[in-house]
Amino acid sequence: ATTYGLDKATIQERLDWVSNNKDLISRVGRDPIDSLPEWEAADEPWQFMAACEEYYHCLIACDRHWTSLPIATDATCSGLQILAGLAKDKSTAQLVNVLPGERPQDAYKVVATEATPHCPGSIQPYMDRKTVKRVVMTVPYNAKPFSNRGYIRDALKEKGVEIEKEDLTKTVKAVREAMDVVVPGPMAVMKWIEDEVALAIKSGREFLEWVTPSGFVVHQKLNKKIVEVLKLHLLGRVELRVATDDSDEVDLNHHKNATAPNLIHSLDASL
């Protein structure tokens, strides 16, 4: 049922769909070639065909008692899930399916809906979950507006829409501000981490360290680079600045930008 197109339905609705469609499942499971018109329009046609074949032989014909069908598991925007837990942000936890609900929630769609009225009129018809998805996924990993611009521009280009530079700036701003409204806990936690890292480094810390729930010790040491300047004389005067090694000076900005994503990745690895 999930691969047929009911991935946002409740578990009971999916179970009912299977019970009500055993004839279809049997036809596809017995002869996928002759039944092609019945399954080629599924959301995930090849996965649906494979699931029908397995279900038919294991649970209808009962002529096979093992399955080789892969079982896929995925998180719902894992960065926001982890930050929602750290912030004890109930509304965000519900949006990213950390807390149980009757049907799967879609944080991307909610952010798109919140951002749409604040986007340029010419872009509003194209503001959907797909347009904002990569931005919403990567902001918890400290993606900045510059990379957000590329994600939104690319998503709109896939829809055949070219966006002006000024409109793109307004759209990125609208999406990021929508995240402040829709997922306030995670956004506040990221700001808190950045502020605390700055205080730690300014107080003299040369590195940061934390232990994940699995017992792994993360040692984050980020120093400024030693830079050599190469002066060239080909096709006019050119200067190249090349980093050759680490200096003894702690890189405050790098620590501020890297800590939230590294913390989330380390917790994700434990999960």
Distance of alpha carbon 54 from alpha carbon 46, whole angstroms: 12
Could you report the per-residue pLDDT of 216-265, keeping only the tens digit for each?
A: 999 999 999 988 887 877 766 777 888 888 999 999 999 999 999 999 99
Q: Determine the pLDDT at residue 71.
A: 80
Residue 269 reports pLDDT greater than 70 = yes
Residues pairing with 238 in the sheet: 232
Above pLDDT 90, what percent of the chain?
A: 81
Residue 101 reports pLDDT greater than 90 = no
Could you report the per-residue pLDDT of 79-90, keeping only the tens digit for each?
A: 999 999 999 999
- Average pLDDT value for the chain: 92
* Whether pTM exceeds 0.85: no
Distance of alpha carbon 115 from alpha carbon 175, whole angstroms: 5
pLDDT category of residue 75 using cuts at 50, 70 and 90 = confident
Instruction: Report phi then psi at 239, rounded to 5.
Output: -115, 130
Rg (C-alpha) for the chain, rounded Å, is 25
> Residue range 22-38: average pLDDT?
95
Assigned token pair, 48: 């649906």
> Residue range 106-112: average pLDDT?
94
Residue 206 reports pLDDT greater than 70 = yes
Assigned token pair, 176: 């990021």
Using an 8 Å Cβ cutoff, are 14 and 102 in contact?
A: no
